[in-house]
């Protein structure tokens, strides 16, 4: 058994003081009964707890796969534009954030979590996590470009990229797999070879593949196997 105010506070419903207030005001039910004593204890495995009529999720960490649409910023807050978190419902105050960034006009796989350790690991240059993108582009893809991607493209600011893999699937369509995440990296790599990206969508991130079932703007929880594969 564990104190309810402690659980709710850990889950992000507020400080211990704020949570006690919510309980005292009668906004919390345990197994259907309104409770008002702030020292109530619950059985995390079996009790059903509702806060403001919403069932609480006990999982400490949340892992969501989002199929990002265009027009959303990969951030937790923006003054003017909608963020990817505006697409996520029911996890308010859980400290969610996107792992890395996709440009506002980029689509596809974005991991949303509150697990800072995992995010750090997936983004750290030390681990070289593969990111695979589907892309469409203007310009001619020349045979010699395969080797250039493999050897490391030099960007406009002089940075030499790590080795990348390009797969051409049609005259102006392909996949590119990169191991790092510099600002506008794929677009700039293509520009360096006189091609312009017209559509970009991330299809995988490390061991995680974008689920085809998700339409743009939709998300789902990762399965246990997917979470394990990332760790
Ligand atoms: N490379 C880009 O240019 N943009 C993205 O959003 C991701 C990778």
3-state secondary structure string, 182-219? CCCHHHHHHHHCCCEEEEEEEEEECCEECCCCCCCCCE
109 lines ligand 1 (CB under 6 A): no
**What pLDDT, on the 0 to 100 scale, is given for residue 215?**
98
**What pLDDT, on the 0 to 100 scale, is given for residue 38?**
82
Which pTM was predicted? 0.79
Matching CATH topology for 2-55 and 63-125+207-230?
no
Architecture label for domain 2-55: Roll (3.10)
Active site residue 39: no
Architecture label for domain 63-125+207-230: 2-Layer Sandwich (3.30)
Q: What is the number of H-type helices and E-type strands within the chain? A: 6, 15
Report which ligand 1 atom has the smallest distance to the Cα of 188.
3
Q: Which one of 38, 47, 78, 103 is the catalytic residue?
A: 103
CA distance 16 to 11: 11
Averaged pLDDT, groups of 10, the chain, 231 residues long? 82 84 93 90 85 82 95 96 92 86 98 94 88 98 97 96 97 97 96 98 96 96 92 83
**What pLDDT, on the 0 to 100 scale, is given for residue 60?**
74
67 lines ligand 1 (CB under 6 A): no
**What pLDDT, on the 0 to 100 scale, is given for residue 6?**
82
Fold classified for 131-205: Alpha-Beta Plaits (3.30.70)
CA distance 231 to 223: 13
Domain layout of the chain by residue ranges:
2-55, 63-125+207-230, 131-205
**What pLDDT, on the 0 to 100 scale, is given for residue 109?**
98
């Amino acid at each position: 058994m564990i104190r309810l105010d402690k659980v709710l506070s850990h889950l992000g419903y507020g400080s211990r003081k704020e949570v006690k207030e919510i309980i005292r005001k009668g906004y919390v039910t345990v197994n259907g009964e309104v409770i008002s004593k702030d020292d109530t204890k619950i059985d995390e495995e079996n009790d059903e707890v509702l806060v403001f009529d919403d069932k609480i999720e006990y999982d400490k960490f949340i892992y969501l796969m989002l199929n990002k649409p265009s027009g959303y910023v990969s951030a937790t807050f923006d003054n003017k534009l909608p963020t990817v978190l505006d697409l996520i419902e029911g996890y308010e105050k859980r400290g969610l954030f996107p792992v890395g960034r996709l440009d506002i006009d980029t689509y596809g796989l974005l991991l949303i979590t509150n697990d800072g350790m995992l995010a750090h690991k997936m983004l750290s240059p030390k681990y070289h996590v593969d990111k695979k993108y589907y892309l469409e582009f203007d310009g001619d893809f020349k045979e010699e470009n395969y080797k250039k991607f493999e050897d490391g493209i030099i960007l406009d600011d002089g940075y030499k990229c790590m080795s990348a893999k390009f797969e051409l699937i049609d005259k102006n369509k392909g996949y590119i797999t990169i191991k790092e995440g510099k600002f506008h990296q794929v677009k700039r790599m293509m520009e360096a070879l006189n091609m312009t990206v017209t559509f970009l969508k991330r299809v995988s991130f490390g061991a995680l593949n974008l689920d085809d079932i998700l339409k743009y703007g939709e998300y789902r929880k990762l399965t246990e196997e997917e979470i394990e594969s990332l760790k």
